[in-house]
Structure 1
Amino acid sequence: MLTASFTLAYWCVLIAALLPLVCTGIAKWGMFTTPPQHGGFDNNNPRAWLTQQTDWRARANAAQANSFEALPFFIGAVVIAHQLGAQQGLVNALAALFVLLRLVYVGLYLGNKAGLRSVVWMLAFGANIAILFAGYR
């Protein structure tokens, strides 16, 4: 019987899945106690409230959307690498690199560093491709 373990790469999937929630929390930070009629977070219409935000709140919301967009490919790449029997150390390292780059990406998004953010996005995408092909023979 084949036994499987919860690898570091799988833990990275969990972290990547939580990252959009962190981003939205940042976008809403400090606005829960302010009434909606005074610009505070409106839980009755959260998406409309988020679209009205500017500066770092708007960028945090955009980082949330991009984090959700990156998630399916990352999950798929990790699962495929495992199914293909890729070297676990390599998959773990690449998955950790992906998560680290995504954390840097969010920080750069919040800091309004668009050019550098795009470079980090490309590096994270490259790490994802490397994970996908880690088990290719």
Structure 2
Amino acid sequence: MTIAQLCLLVACLLPVGCAALAKSKGFGKRRRDGGFDNNAPREWLARLGGWQARANAAQANSWEALPLFIGGLFVAYQHQAAQGAVDALALGFIAARLAYIGLYVADKASLRSLLWVTGAGLCIALFFVR
């Protein structure tokens, strides 16, 4: 498995991690005591506030960012791009996404947006790497 392929696996798991973070408020509690409601998960998540609501928003954005990353890797592999360059761009994307999620949860909107642009730029670079 290449580093880029490992990064793809991590990128696919990032939304799951964000969801777990968002739902952590309800872990260990019964549903009637405010615990996570698996019968109505979206409604339960919609009632969250603060950092947990932002973690849920980061989950949604992580899903939204995934297709561009997958597409970039696909095109890079189609072009038989240098593996070192693909790996470096993929690692950069994962680093940007991890920082983005941290900044989202911490409510640092301007820095978060900068990291979003960085991650998107790295994905776009994958389309052109040789």
What is the TM-score normalised by the length of structure 2?
0.96
What is the rounded CA distance, in whole Å, between the counterparts of 2:64 and 2:118 in structure 1?
Answer: 16
What is the rounded CA distance, in whole Å, between the counterparts of 1:22 and 1:42 in structure 2?
Answer: 18
Task: Check if 1:129 corresponds to 2:124.
Answer: yes
> Deviation of residue 38 (structure 1)?
2.2
Matches within 5 A, 1:80-95: 80-95=75-90
Tell me how large the CA RMSD over aligned residues is: 0.9
SS at match of 1:66: helix
Matches within 5 A, 1:1-137: 6-135=1-130
Q: Deviations over 1:59-86 (max 9, x none)?
A: 0000000000000110111111011011
Rg (Cα) greater in structure:
1
Q: Deviations over 1:24-71 (max 9, x none)?
A: 000011412212222211011111100110001100000000000000
SS at match of 2:26: coil
CA contact (8 A) 2:7 2:94 kept: yes
For structure 1, which runs of at least 5 residues remain unmatched after alignment? Answer: 1-5
What is the rounded CA distance, in whole Å, between the counterparts of 1:36 and 1:55 in structure 2?
Answer: 20
What is the rounded CA distance, in whole Å, between the counterparts of 2:25 and 2:42 in structure 1?
Answer: 17
Which residue in 2 is equivalent to 1:3?
Answer: none
For structure 2, which runs of at least 5 residues remain unmatched after alignment? Answer: none
What is the TM-score normalised by the length of structure 1?
0.92
* % identical equivalent positions: 51
Bigger Cα displacement from structure 2, 24-33 vs 121-130: 24-33
Q: Deviations over 1:69-117 (max 9, x none)?
A: 0001101111110110111100100000000000000000000000100
- Higher fraction of helix: 2
Give the partner amino acid of 2:31: P
What is the rounded CA distance, in whole Å, between the counterparts of 2:60 and 2:20 in structure 1?
Answer: 13
Give the partner amino acid of 2:63: F
